[in-house]
Amino acid sequence: MLTFERWKITLVLIVALLGGVYAVPNFLARTTAESLPSWLPHKQINLGLDLQGGSHLLLEVDVAAVLAEQLETLVDEVRVVLRGAGIGYTGLGRSDEQVKLKLRDVTQSEATRPLLVEIDPSLEVKIYQDGSISIDVSAAARQERKVAVLSQSIEIVRRRIDETGTREPTIQRQGEDRILVQLPGIDDPERVKRLLGKTAKMNFKMVDEATPIEDALRGRVPPGSELLYMRDRLDDQAEARPIILRRRVSVSGDNLLDAQPTFQDNQPVVSLRFDNVGARKFGTLTKENVGKRFAIVLDGEVISAPVIREPIPGGSGIISGQFTVQSAQDLALLLRAGALPAPLTILEERTVGPSLGADSIAAGKIASVVGMALVIAYIIMSYGLFGVAAVLALTVNMALIVGLLSVLQATLTLPGIAGIVLTIGMAVDANVLIFERIREEVRNGRTPFSSVDIGFRQAFRTIIDANVTTLIAAVLLFQFGSGPVRGFAVTLGIGIATSLFTAIMFTRMLIVLWLQRVRPRTLPI
C-alpha cells in the first residue's frame, strides 16, 4: 500500500523550502545581498573568469635560481667547516651544478669526507686521487627541493592574492614548475602583476662606511662587501645612488611577524614587528651600532639606509623610503605574505573583458529557459497531470542546485552553465522511467494504487544505476580535470544528487498525496 509518512512530508518540504531560500539572494544585486543581516542567507554564486571577466596568468617558478642559491650556501658552509678543521684548499666555488675544490694536502682526503657529509647527508661527495673534490646534491634531494619550492610559491601567491581582496581566485599547479592564476573581476591587473613579480626577500645589512664609493665603482669591492643601488621612489627619472653594504645579513626578513602601512610625520611608512628571535637580533644590532648606518634591502635593491640614532628594543621598527600610500600598502602586503622562495616569470597573460562574460551569461540564460520550456512542454503533453508533478519537481530541483552552489560558494563557469542545462534534461529522466513503468502496470490491468506503487519500486533500481554511473563520471572529471572542467563536474554532480531527491521523494510525495485525496478509478497518464 502506498504511504508517505508525515515526517517524510515535513522533511521534503523543509529541504525544498531551504533550497528556495538560499537561492533567492542570487536574484538580488550583490550590494543588496551583502547588506542583508548575517543570520539571513546572503551568499551568491561566484562567477568564474569566463563570465565575470578578469585576468589569466601563467607563472613559471625559477627553480634553477633556488638550486643555484642552495649551492652558493653550500660553498659558504664548506668554507666554514674546512677552515674550522684546519684543512687547506684552493679553487672552492660553484661549477655548473656542483661545488668543487682541491685539497692542498692529499693525505687529508679521508678526514675531509666525513666533515662534508656531515653538512648534509644527501650530498654526494667524490674525492679523486689528485685531491680534487666534487660535491653534488642527490637527484632525490633536488626533486624534493623542487616540489617544496613550487608548493611554497603557490602558498605565497595565494596569500598575496587574498590580501588584495580578490574573490574566489583560482591558483593551482600546472606541470613541474608552473602556476596557473585566474582572477575573476580583477580591476587592477597591473598591480597584481607587480605584486606577483616581486620575490620580496628583505634583509637588514650594515653599510660599509670604510670603502670609498669610487673604488667600488671601479670594481674594487673588498671581500665580505657588495655594491648595491638605492633608487628615489618618488622620481623614476632620478639616477640610482650606489651604496656599499656588508654581505652578512644582520637580521633576516624570515623573522618578520607583521607589516602594516602607516604614517609618520605625515609621510607614508611601513611599520614592522619581528618575532622573538628577530626582536633580539634587531635590538642587538641597533644597540651595538648607534651612530652607524644600516640598510633595508628588498630583492637586491636598497629601500633606505638610515642612521641608527638609538637602540630599538621591543622588536618593532619603521621603514621610511619616500613611499606613496599605494607603494607603502603594497610593500606591507608583500612582507606580510612572505618572501617567494624563487623568482616568478609571467609566461602568459590574458585579459577577459566583462562584456564577453555578459554575453555568455545571456546565452546561458536563453539556453536554460529554452531547454526548460521544451522539457516542460514535452513532459506535460506526454504525461498530463503526472507531468505537472514532474514540472514542480524540476522547479524545486533548480532551486536546490542554485541554493547548494551558493552555500558552497562554488564558482560558476560557462561549462558549469552547460552542466546546469544538461541537468534540466536529466532531471526528468527518472520521472520518465517511473511514469513509463506506471503506464505498463496500468496496461496490465492493475489498480491505480498498485500501478503507482509498483512503478516507483521497480524503477528505483534502474534510476540508481543510471545516475550512479553518471556521478562516477562527474567525480572522475573533478578529480583529474582542472578549471572549467571541474566547474562542469561540480554542477553535474550536484544536479544528479538533487534530481534523485526530487524524483524519488518530491514527485512521489505529490502523486501519493493526490491519490490519497482523489482516489481515482483511472490514472491520467
Cα 320-344-413 angle, rounded to 5 deg:
110
CA 197, CA 193: separation in Å to the nearest integer?
6
Residue pLDDT, tens place only, 185-202: 776 677 777 777 777 777
What b/e readout covers 79-88, taking b as 16+ CB neighbours within 10 angstroms? eeebeeeebe
Closest CA relative to residue 331, chosen from 195, 205, 187? 195
pLDDT for the residue 307: 80
CA 470, CA 423: separation in Å to the nearest integer?
11
CA 301, CA 522: separation in Å to the nearest integer?
87
pLDDT for the residue 17: 92
How many helices (DSSP H) and strands (DSSP E) are in the chain?
16, 19
The residue-averaged pLDDT of 105-129 equals: 84
Question: Could you give the residue ranges of the DSSP H alpha helices within 43-138?
Answer: 49-52, 63-85, 109-119
The three cell numbers of residue 402 are 542554485
For the domain spanning 6-53+353-518, the CATH number is 1.20.1640.10
Strand partners, 355: none
> DSSP letter at 507?
I
Q: Percent helix, strand, coil in the chain (nearest 5)?
A: 55, 20, 25
The CATH fold of domain 198-350: Gyrase A; domain 2 (3.30.1360)
CA 452, CA 392: separation in Å to the nearest integer?
18
CA 105, CA 482: separation in Å to the nearest integer?
58
The residue-averaged pLDDT of 51-67 equals: 81
User: Model confidence at 13, in pLDDT bands (50, 70, 90)?
Assistant: very high
- Domains of the chain, residue spans: 6-53+353-518, 63-138, 198-350
Mean pLDDT of the chain: 82
Residue pLDDT, tens place only, 70-103: 787 788 788 888 888 888 888 888 877 888 888 8
The three cell numbers of residue 431 are 520521472
Distances (CA, A) of 421 to 333, 458, 478: 42, 28, 18
The three cell numbers of residue 445 are 490491468
User: Model confidence at 14, in pLDDT bands (50, 70, 90)?
Assistant: very high
Backbone angles phi, psi at 524, to 5 degrees: -80, 70
pLDDT for the residue 353: 66
In the sheet with 316-319, reading across from the earlier edge strand, the strands are 256-264, 267-274, 316-319
CB atoms within 10 A of CB 327: 17
Residue of higher predicted confidence among 240 and 435: 435
User: Model confidence at 15, in pLDDT bands (50, 70, 90)?
Assistant: very high
The three cell numbers of residue 270 are 611601513
Q: Choose the most confident range, by mean pLDDT, from 6-20, 314-328, 371-385, 408-422.
A: 6-20
Task: Kindly provide the residue ranges of all beta strands, DSSP E only, lying in 234-293, ordered along the sequence.
Answer: 241-246, 251-252, 256-264, 267-274
The residue-averaged pLDDT of 193-216 equals: 80
pLDDT for the residue 356: 54
> DSSP letter at 94?
E
Lowest mean pLDDT among 7-21, 120-134, 165-179, 428-442: 165-179
Question: Could you give the residue ranges of the DSSP H alpha helices within 130-256?
Answer: 139-163, 189-197, 213-217
The CATH fold of domain 63-138: 3.30.1240
Distances (CA, A) of 133 to 52, 107, 112, 138, 269: 59, 13, 10, 16, 50
In the sheet with 251-252, reading across from the earlier edge strand, the strands are 241-246, 225-230, 301-304, 294-298, 202-206, 251-252
CA 183, CA 359: separation in Å to the nearest integer?
19
In the sheet with 132-137, reading across from the earlier edge strand, the strands are 89-95, 98-103, 132-137, 123-127
The three cell numbers of residue 145 are 627541493
Closest CA relative to residue 78, chosen from 51, 111, 48, 118? 118
Beta-strand relationship, 225-230 and 267-274: unpaired
The three cell numbers of residue 240 are 640610482
User: Model confidence at 274, in pLDDT bands (50, 70, 90)?
Assistant: confident
The three cell numbers of residue 59 are 607563472
**Euclidean distance between the first and the last CA atom of the chain, given in angstroms as a whole number:** 20
Instruction: Spell out the residues 6+ positions from residue 6 whose beta carbon is closer than 8 angstroms to its own.
Output: none
Distances (CA, A) of 76 to 86, 104, 204: 15, 18, 19
